[in-house]
Amino acid sequence: MSDAPNPSRRPARTPRFPDGPQPDPAGSHHERRIRSFQPRRSRVTTGQADAIERLWARWGLDIDGRRTLDLTELFGDDRPVVLEIGFGMGEATAQMAADDPATNILAVDVHTPGQGNLLSLAERSGLGNVRVANGDAIILLREMLRPDALAGLRVYFPDPWPKKRHHKRRLIQPEFLDLAADRLSPGAVLHCATDWEPYAEQMMEVLTAHPRFANTQPEGHFAPRPEFRPLTRFEGQGLDKGHVVRDLLFRRV
């Protein structure tokens, strides 16, 4: 057997995309804490890789926690910016961007295939109002966005962490809402959606209790799915299994 190195095999810890999304962009200069997300490993297709290599420098950014973003500079205009945390493969994000060109969407995820897919969709549809951020949304909110910077915040189908011992990993917690309230402008809407009923109930409880958010629906009521939120493939699979999808729309007061 030959001991010659395989040129197609990258050395351990070598980034797949040296000039693209990094595996841990914030590195060790931020504190260790329990995270609400778990990076998934799956194959990046040729098309997704091509989109990352060509478009990341223009439409992508790493969440390194070392700078404050100028959103007007990032998007090249002063349209209102909505932050979306966790966009999956990006189909719904691209559709919302196409349907509402007056709004910029800063979409955050750690899933490399999804990042490449959203970049590809944005290019194909000529969507200049989408930017893709790679890394921890908490660091983005806390370290890189100014107070009142956001016109909205979307958290669609976050990991429900169904086991009781993992509930502390859920994103929608009082501490997260404190941070979100500081970055949302007055009147901006935090929109959550989940198909996990116990998580929906927890979301309702913590949002109702928070003094800086008010339900857009009668107290204690979930919202109907608004027309601007597309029915995603993931959501359709849940509905086919009998899951009940809950939307929560709370306004920052």
pLDDT of residue 2: 47
Q: What one-character DSSP code corresponds to residue 223?
A: B
pLDDT of residue 7: 47
* Residues 6+ positions from 28 with CB-CB distance below 8 Å: none
pLDDT of residue 238: 82
pLDDT of residue 20: 79
CATH classification (class only), 55-252 = alpha beta
Which pLDDT tens digit goes with each residue over 148-198?
999 999 999 999 988 888 799 899 999 999 999 999 999 999 999 999 999
- Single-letter residue type at 15: P
- Single-letter residue type at 176: F
pLDDT of residue 1: 47
For residues 136 and 111, the answer to whether their CB atoms sit within 8 Å is no
159 is catalytic: yes
Domain boundaries, the chain: 55-252
Q: CA-CA distance, 125 to 127, in Å (whole number)? A: 6
Among 50, 62, 148, 159, the one annotated catalytic: 159
* Residues 6+ positions from 79 with CB-CB distance below 8 Å: 102, 103, 104, 129
pTM over 0.75: yes
Blockwise average pLDDT, block size 10, the chain, 253 residues: 50 69 76 57 89 97 96 98 96 98 98 97 98 96 97 96 87 97 98 96 98 95 96 84 94 98
74 C-beta neighbours (distance < 10 Å), count: 15
